[in-house]
Amino acid sequence: MTEARPIILTCGEPAGVGPELAPKALASGVPFVFLGDPRHLPEGTPWAEVAAPGESVPEGLLAVLRHDFPAPAVPGRPDPANAPAVVEVIARAVDLALSGAAGGICTLPINKEALKRGAGFGFPGHTEYLAHLAGDVPVVMMLASTTVEPPCRVVPVTIHIPLSEVPLALTPLRLEQAIRITDAAMRRDFGLARPRLAIAGLNPHAGENGVMGDEEARWMAPLIERLRREGFDLRGPLPADTMFHPAARARYDAALCAYHDQALIPIKTLDFAGGVNVTLGLPFVRTSPDHGTAFDIAGQGIADAQSVIAALRMAHEMAGRR
C-alpha cells in the first residue's frame, strides 16, 4: 500500500442531493476535496478554498477546489444553464487524476436528462463519459457492497439497454472482455491474488440444458472453459436465482451478470445504502455512491451519506494500491 493522494469529490447535479452530501462526507475520515461551486453548498457549511488537491485545510472544514457555475442551485429544479459546468467538473477531475495530483475521483450523481438538454451530453452516463475521457478505453461497471458478508460484488455485462436487446448485445467478445477487465481490477484494486469469478447464465436456470434457451450451452460454457485453461478461476454459467445467498457468495469474489437488473436487484436488496459504484478498467480510480440525484428530497438536509462515505473510503483504499 502506498500513501494515497486526496480523492476528488465532484459536485454532480447541483440541484440534487450532492451539495448537501459533500459536508456530510467529512465523516469518511479520508482526504478528499470537493470540486464544485461553494455557493451551492448548504448555508452555513464550513469550507475553505484550496488551489490544489493536496493543500491542507483546518480540521472540520470542507476543502473546496472552486469551479464557478453560471446559475444558483435550486433544490429539485435542475437549471440547463448549469449543465455545461457539470460536464466541465467531471473533465477537470479526470485531468487531475490522470496528472497524479489526485488519487482518484468519486462522483456525486448527475442527471442525464438535464445534461442532454442543457449541454448536449451525448453519453448514457458517467461511466461512458469517463471511458471516453480516458481515451475510449474498455470499462465495466461494478457495484460493490460494504456492509454485508460475504461481500456482494456484481458486474452487469450489458447495462443501459432494453431487455429485448440483451440476447444480441451479450456476445462472446463482450463477456470475455468483461471477465478480463474484472479479473485485472480485482487483482490491482482489491488486492486479490487469484480472483474467483462467477458467471450468471442469461436464461432461467442457466438454460437447463437447452430447455429454456441455448446461449449457455452453445457459447457461454465453451468460452468459460477456454478462459479456465488460460488460468482464470471461473464458475458458470450459473442459475442467477441461486447465486446471491450467503453460502453462494462465499464461493466467489465477484459475479458477472448478463443484464442490468440481474446484477443490481441483488446488491440493492442486500446493501441498498452501502453499495458503491466502481468503474473497472480506467487508468485512474473512480467510485460513486449507488444512488441518483434524489430531487424529491434535495435541499431538505435528510439525504443519507452512507453510500458516498463508503464510496470515498473505497476510492481511498483503491488509490493506496496503485
The answer to whether the annotation marks 245 as part of a ligand binding site is no
- Helices 126-133, 83-99: crossing angle, 10 deg rounding: 50
The answer to whether the annotation marks 291 as part of a ligand binding site is no
From the CB of residue 162, how many other CB atoms can be counted at a distance below 10 Å? 8
The answer to whether the annotation marks 209 as part of a ligand binding site is no
The answer to whether the annotation marks 286 as part of a ligand binding site is yes
Give ∠ CA 170-172-178 in degrees, rounded to 5. 75
Cβ neighbours of residue 123 under 8 Å, at least 6 residues apart? 129, 132
The answer to whether the annotation marks 82 as part of a ligand binding site is no
From the CB of residue 60, how many other CB atoms can be counted at a distance below 10 Å? 9
The answer to whether the annotation marks 182 as part of a ligand binding site is no
Grid cell, residue 222, equals 465453451
The answer to whether the annotation marks 24 as part of a ligand binding site is no
User: Where would I find the beta strands (DSSP E) of 254-300?
Assistant: 254-257, 276-280, 285-289
Beta strands at 7-10 and 104-107: parallel, antiparallel or unpaired:
parallel
For the four alpha carbons of 169, 171, 175 and 177, in that order, the dihedral sign comes to negative
The answer to whether the annotation marks 127 as part of a ligand binding site is yes
Binding-site sequence positions for substrate: 126-127, 268, 277, 286
Binding-site sequence positions for a divalent metal cation: 160, 205, 260
Binding-site sequence positions: 126-127, 160, 205, 260, 268, 277, 286
